[in-house]
């Protein structure tokens, strides 16, 4: 059976072209999307017996310039592809720098506010590359070809989730982090297994790690908005509490994310004691303070060390094994869709896996 796949070109290195600036060449977005489309045609033509691919231009900009507005555009495009155009899958080419943010945003928005169900009936796969598709010996062609093969396999097994293929692995979109700016094996899923592998035998997906497609009668109810004023603050020895507090009192901040020095550990003594700041922000200003970790594969449960427990007792919200990317996107998502109105609401929400983005603490 031939699957109908909508292929969205959403910028990034994979489609960039070299341009001479002074005495050197730099990669820049192409002026014409047909340049990238033409380079993709030989790859797509090889897949004709399995997939009918429709190319569509969204943007050619570098992913560093992406914003929540770009996430929303993709979210509504996927909904249209599923509900109105009846595509079997959606493929997205994306820049690697913010790929994890977009994948997490799509996961939360498309699966929606009810963690018990989803209206998504088609798989969405995102890929990018460390090299442009035109570069011999690079990963652009490899990743692009395997994105379509991954989607064919996802359709075959009845999976409907947001996934990312990169090099020889397939990941759940809301669990990934970029770990290298040059290695072909550039992404990791530190707290959740890879949901598939790519090797000489082709693409193998693990159905038990993926959401199954919704019943045809289930409506895709989006939660597509993302709030503003979310600030991330990486802690280091000697972080000045007055600087942190200045963000809170300066206005425009709706949530603060503290990337801790360990398993949710925050300085709790001397002139750099942050506990009073957490307490005052939560109690007096009603600003949620989220405690996560800057260590890949870490968790911020706050119960293993006294200094972590003190932060939670003061009102800090533990983020468990969310990646720091997932915390940032999820907090924006909770605010944007009006899902939390109190500190306790936020605390509860961070224990809930809406799209697979966290392992609930009771599991």
The CATH code of the domain that includes 38 is 3.40.50.1170
Lowest mean pLDDT among 71-80, 86-95, 244-253, 316-325: 244-253
Residues 105 and 36 in one domain: yes
Region class of 284: left (phi > 0), else alpha (psi between -120 and 50), else beta: alpha
Model confidence pLDDT, tens digit, residues 267-279: 889 999 999 999 9
Range 185-190, long-range pairs (CB < 8 A, 24+ positions):
186/96, 186/130, 187/96, 187/99, 187/100, 188/296, 190/296, 190/297, 190/298, 190/323
For the record, the structure tokens of 295 come out as 């260590």
pLDDT for 352 equals 97
Residues 245 and 193 in one domain: no
Residues 197 and 254 in one domain: no
Among 209, 239, 254, where does a domain finish?
A: 209
Confidence of residue 25 (pLDDT cuts 50, 70, 90): confident
For the record, the structure tokens of 97 come out as 């720098």
Report yes or no on 354 lying in a domain: no
Model confidence pLDDT, tens digit, residues 150-178: 999 999 999 999 999 999 999 999 999 99
Give the relative orientation of helices 68-83 and 99-111 as an angle to the nearest 10 degrees. Answer: 50
Confidence of residue 24 (pLDDT cuts 50, 70, 90): confident
Report yes or no on 355 lying in a domain: no
Domain that holds residue 57: 3-209
Average pLDDT, the chain: 93
Helix (H, G, I), strand (E, B) or coil at 17: strand
Cα gap 262→79, rounded to integer Å: 39
CATH number at residue 328: 3.40.50.40
Residues 178 and 241 in one domain: no
Cα gap 31→27, rounded to integer Å: 12
**CB distance 317 to 327 below 8 Å:** no
Cβ neighbours around 38 below 10 Å, total? 11
- In this structure, what DSSP letter does residue 360 have? -
Residues 119 and 81 in one domain: yes
Q: C-alpha angle with apex 196: 169 to 95, nearest 5 degrees?
A: 40
Residues 240 and 196 in one domain: no
Residues 150 and 113 in one domain: yes
For the record, the structure tokens of 34 come out as 């047909």
Report yes or no on 225 lying in a domain: no
Cα gap 67→338, rounded to integer Å: 20
Total number of residues shown for the chain: 363
For the record, the structure tokens of 281 come out as 């922000």
Q: Is the pLDDT of residue 333 over 60?
A: yes
pLDDT for 23 equals 83
Q: C-alpha angle with apex 319: 313 to 321, nearest 5 degrees?
A: 135
Q: In terms of Cα–Cα distance, which of 321, 235, 307 is closest to 265? A: 307
Residues 37 and 185 in one domain: yes
- In this structure, what DSSP letter does residue 119 have? -
pLDDT for 215 equals 86
Residues 140 and 267 in one domain: no
Residues 199 and 261 in one domain: no
Cα of 195 vs its chain's centroid, Å: 15
Model confidence pLDDT, tens digit, residues 231-250: 999 999 999 999 999 988 88
Distances (CA, A) of 13 to 28, 153, 334: 8, 26, 31
Over residues 294-300, mean pLDDT: 69
Report yes or no on 216 lying in a domain: no
Residues 245 and 194 in one domain: no
Cα gap 24→27, rounded to integer Å: 10
For the record, the structure tokens of 300 come out as 């911020």
Distances (CA, A) of 141 to 31, 108, 177, 212, 333: 20, 29, 22, 29, 33
Model confidence pLDDT, tens digit, residues 190-209: 999 999 999 999 999 999 99
Place of tokens 């983005």: 357
Q: In terms of Cα–Cα distance, which of 155, 135, 183, 112 is closest to 5? A: 155
Over residues 112-128, mean pLDDT: 96
Residues 17 and 96 in one domain: yes
Among 209, 238, 265, where does a domain finish?
A: 209
pLDDT for 197 equals 98
Total domains in the chain come to 2
């Amino acid at each position: 059976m031939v699957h109908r796949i909508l292929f969205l070109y959403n910028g990034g290195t994979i489609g960039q072209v070299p341009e001479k600036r002074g005495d050197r060449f730099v990669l820049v977005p192409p002026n014409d999307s047909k340049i990238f489309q033409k380079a993709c045609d030989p790859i797509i033509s090889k897949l004709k017996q399995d997939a009918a691919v429709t190319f569509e231009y969204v943007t050619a900009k570098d992913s560093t310039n992406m914003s929540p507005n770009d996430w929303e555009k993709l979210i509504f495009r996927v909904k249209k592809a599923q509900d109105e155009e009846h595509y079997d899958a959606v493929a997205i080419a994306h820049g690697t720098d913010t790929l994890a943010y977009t994948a997490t945003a799509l996961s939360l928005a498309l699966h929606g506010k009810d963690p018990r169900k989803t209206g998504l009936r088609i798989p969405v796969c995102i890929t990018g590359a460390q090299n442009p598709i035109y570069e011999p010996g690079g990963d652009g062609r490899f990743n692009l070809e395997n994105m379509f093969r991954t989607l064919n396999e996802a359709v075959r097994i009845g999976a409907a989730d947001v996934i990312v293929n990169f090099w020889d692995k397939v990941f759940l979109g809301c669990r990934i982090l970029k770990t290298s700016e040059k290695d072909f094996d550039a992404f990791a899923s530190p707290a959740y297994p890879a949901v598939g592998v790519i090797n000489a035998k082709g693409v193998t997906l693990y159905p038990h790690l993926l959401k199954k497609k919704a019943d045809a009668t289930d409506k895709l109810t989006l939660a597509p908005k993302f709030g503003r004023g979310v600030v991330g603050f990486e802690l280091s020895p000697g972080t000045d509490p007055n600087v942190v507090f200045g963000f809170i009192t300066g206005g425009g901040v709706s949530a603060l994310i503290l990337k801790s020095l360990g398993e949710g550990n925050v300085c709790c003594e001397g002139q750099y004691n942050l506990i009073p700041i957490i307490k005052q922000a939560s109690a007096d200003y009603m600003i949620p303070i989220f405690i996560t970790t800057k260590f890949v594969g870490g968790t911020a449960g706050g119960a293993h060390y006294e200094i972590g427990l003190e932060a939670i007792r003061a009102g800090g919200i533990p983020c468990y094994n969310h990646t720091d990317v997932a915390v940032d996107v999820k907090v924006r998502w909770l605010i944007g869709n009006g899902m939390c109105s109190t500190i306790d609401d936020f605390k509860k929400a961070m224990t809930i896996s809406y799209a697979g983005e966290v392992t609930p603490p009771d599991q």
